[in-house]
Structure formats: C-alpha cells, structure tokens
Amino acid sequence: MPSTLYRDAALADGRSAHLQVGVSLLAEDGRVRWIRPADDEGECPPGCEVVDAGGSTIIPGLVDGHSHLTLPGGSHWIARGSDPTDTLIAVAESNGELQHRSGVRWARDVGSPRRAYDGGERAVSIGVRDRWRGRRDRPYVRAAGTWITVAGTLPAGLTVEARDGDALVAAALGQLDDGADFVKLYLDGPDPETSPWTAAEVGRVVQAVHARGAKVTAHASRLSGTRVCAEAGLDSIEHGFEIDADVARLMAARGVALVTTMTVMKSWLTFATTTSIPRFAEPDGRSRILDRLEQARHSARLAHAAGVAIVGGTDFGGGSARANQLPWEFECLVEAGLEPWQALAAITWRGGELLGEPEAGVIREAAPPTSPSCTATR
Ligand SMILES: [Zn+2]
C-alpha cells in the first residue's frame, strides 16, 4: 500500500488559535494513518516516501460552502446557465478537477440548471454528484438541485418558478423527489425592498422539508429577504450582505448559519479593468461595489459577533470567482474581523456541520485500516 510521510510540518485544524509545530503525518492509501511528534515518529513503513514538510502547514480538506459546479463563471455568468447540457457537464468536470487540485474535498452545490439527461429531468448538479461518487479525483458533492424563485427574478427557464405559497412548498419537495440533498430558495425578488415570500410561506417550506429529513437554505442578499429567512428559521442564509444587528441576533437565537460569499464582490472589482460592462467598469458602478463589499464585511462581523455559525464559499460559477479560489473567501473573512483560525473553520468543519457530514473538513488520525469508518483528510 503506498504511503507518504510528511515530516516536521505545522498543523492547523481550525479548532483553536493554537498552531501545532513539529508534526509528522503518515498518509496511506489516501487516509491519515497517524499524526505524531516529528521527534518521536516511530517506525516508517517499508517503501514509505518521506517528504520534508518543514515550513508547511497541514490543514483539513477544504469545504466550499457555496459553489455552482455546472457553471464556468466569468462576467457573463448568468448567460452561461443557458449553455447546452453537455457543456454544463464538461464544465463541472473541469471545476471538480480544479477543486481537487486546490485541496477542496467537499463541494456544497447551491444551484444548477434543471435539464433532461440520463433518461430523466433534474438539476444537472444531481447527476454530477452521482457520477463522482467513489472517484478520488473529485470532491464529495451535496447538491441543492435548482433555484426556486418567484417569477421575474432570474431568466425564464433557468429556475423553477413558484406563483404562491402552495407552489413554493410543492417546488421544494419536487427538488427532493429529483434527488437533491437539500433545498435552496431564492429570497431576492424583482423589488429589492420587498421579500418575494412571507415568513409564514417560507416557514411552511421549512416544516415540509425538515419532515423529509433535509435542510433548507436561501439566497438572500437584501435585508428584506434575510429577515424573512431568519424569522422562518431556515438552516442557513447564503450571501446575507445586508444583515443588521436585529437579524444577526435572530439568526443566532434560531441557529441559522450564514454562508458568506464576499469573494464575489472582489471578483466584480476586477471586472472594472477586464470588461467594459458599465455596472462594473464605470466609476459609479465601481463605487457601488466597494460600498456593497464594505456592507457585506459589516454583516459578517455582526453575525459572527452575535454567535452565528459562519461558513465560507466562493460562489464560483454562479458569481465570477473560479473553483480553485476558496482561499480568497478566507482572506475576506479575516478582513471582516474573524481570527484566522475562525476563518479556517468557516472553510472546513463549519461547512461540514452545515452539510451534516461529521467527517467533512476534519483532520484526525484514522481508525485502524480494517475499520469501515477509517476515513480522514476528507
Ligand atoms: Zn450562488
């Protein structure tokens, strides 16, 4: 069995500010066999490759809390959602490879177009998840299916649209019937000041989806929709760029996690020089994005201070970052005021907790290799 010994590294697990130094780690068959002091390693297995890891830091496998595997991103990211199904699947393969090579072991997919393929109709991300099961060169995927919107929000045909509260519940359960692991609502509507759904309507979805053993999250970038999500007791809120102190307190009290995606705004700032799209390139547009970034940092700070669990995501594909840029969100979280170990938690085990996957984003010594629960570096 091939084994590799990483000798004399530092180790950060995202559980405390303590950085362990002088650590050696033996990896065997893709798992952590043991973690020991570098000056007391004991025997190395015969044929073991030794890597001098001095000056390196070992961290858990990363969890991208907000990704769109089937979409390529870039400044025309919404238009790319209308690409042919084969293209979406090919894009996902490329994104999965980028994630794997950049240390992302778990991808939480929060929306992909719904298409006919493989003999049925469902979100393309669900098929991608199933294709990648058991592949070591791809992340583990948990997929929300497709976005559920009120009409007039995103381009027609891209999402499942609901007209009223009954249709909203039916659309949510329909995603679970399709094979989604959790449900994603869209709580930005055509009018930014008004939530497209009431807390009572969203609460019915929460009840119905929880009854099926799954979780519910929602895209909510505006304060109006974010407040409704908090009142309805969703499991998490995506983006949350306009959280105020009241909503932060409510989220903490009801156990609603925040999935931050500040990377999006940073990538939009680069479009000021790489595109001629007015909302990015003109001075007004640029200053609006800068204001929004500052507001997003403030929101993350308030939520964190109130005790809300913070999970970090790139929003690659749905926004404009790329699949191997999760460290960008780590930097954003530190800029927002989290300690570096807390920001590491946000892109590792906090994402695992939100997914309900206790092994995700965790680094630990494996059980004996004969045990079926012997898994680490996940
Ligand atoms: Zn997104």
Ligand 1 centroid from CA 320, angstroms: 10
Q: Which two tokens stand for residue 264?
A: 């999006």
For residue 359, report the distance from its CA to the centre of ligand 1, in Å. 24
Q: DSSP secondary-structure letter at 146?
A: S
In this prediction, residue 319 carries a pLDDT of: 76
Order of strands, edge to edge, in the sheet holding 140-143?
Answer: 62-67, 104-109, 140-143
The model's confidence at residue 157, banded by pLDDT at 50, 70 and 90, is confident
Distance 70 CA to ligand 1 centre (A): 12
Between the CA of 148 and the centroid of ligand 1 the distance, in Å, is 13
User: If you average pLDDT over every residue of the chain, what do you get?
Assistant: 93
Instruction: Tell me which residue of 110, 99, 109, 108 sits closest to 136, measured CA to CA.
Output: 99
User: Residue 159's pLDDT band (boundaries 50, 70, 90)?
Assistant: confident
How far does residue 53's CA lie from ligand 1's centre (Å)?
36
Which pLDDT score is estimated for 192?
86
270-322 residue pLDDT tens:
999 999 999 999 999 999 999 999 999 999 999 999 999 999 999 999 878 99
pLDDT for 29 equals 85
Residue 374's pLDDT is what?
Answer: 31
pLDDT confidence of residue 376 = 38
Count of other CB atoms within 10 angstroms of residue 41: 16
SS3 for 307?
coil
pLDDT at 301: 98
For 40, which DSSP code?
Answer: G
Expressed in angstroms and rounded, the spacing between residue 68 Cα and the centre of ligand 1 is 7
72: CA distance to ligand 1 center in Å?
12
- Cα(316) to ligand 1 centroid in Å equals 7
CA dist., res. 378 & res. 359, Å (int): 6
CA of 317 to the centre of ligand 1 (A): 7
In the predicted model, is pLDDT for residue 153 greater than 90?
A: no
CA of residue 261 to ligand 1 center, whole Å: 8
If residue 207 lies in a helix (H) or strand (E), which one and from where to where?
A: helix 199-211
| Ligand 1: centre distance to CA 41 (Å) | 44
Query: Residue 333 Cα, ligand 1 centroid: separation in angstroms?
Result: 17
Backbone angles phi, psi at 300, to 5 degrees: -65, -40
Residue 295 vs residues 242, 265, 373: alpha-carbon distances, Å: 6, 11, 43
- Structure confidence by residue, pLDDT tens digits, 48-59: 999 999 999 999
pLDDT-derived band at 369 (thresholds 50, 70, 90) equals: very low
Q: What's the gap in Å between 111 CA and the centre of ligand 1?
A: 7
Confidence of residue 85 (pLDDT cuts 50, 70, 90): very high
So what's the pLDDT on residue 372?
Answer: 31
CA trace torsion 273, 343, 94, 175 (10° rounding): -110
Give the model confidence (pLDDT) of 223-246 as tens digits: 999 999 999 999 999 999 999 999
Kindly report which listed range (40-54, 83-97, 360-374) carries the lowest average pLDDT score.
360-374
In the chain, what percentage of residues exceed pLDDT 90?
A: 89
> How far away, in angstroms, is 218 Cα from ligand 1 center?
10
User: 67 C-alpha to center of ligand 1: Å?
Assistant: 6
Two tokens at 229?
A: 């999500």
Residues by chain with Cβ below 5 Å of ion ligand 1: 315, 318
pLDDT of residue 296: 98
Its pTM stands at: 0.94
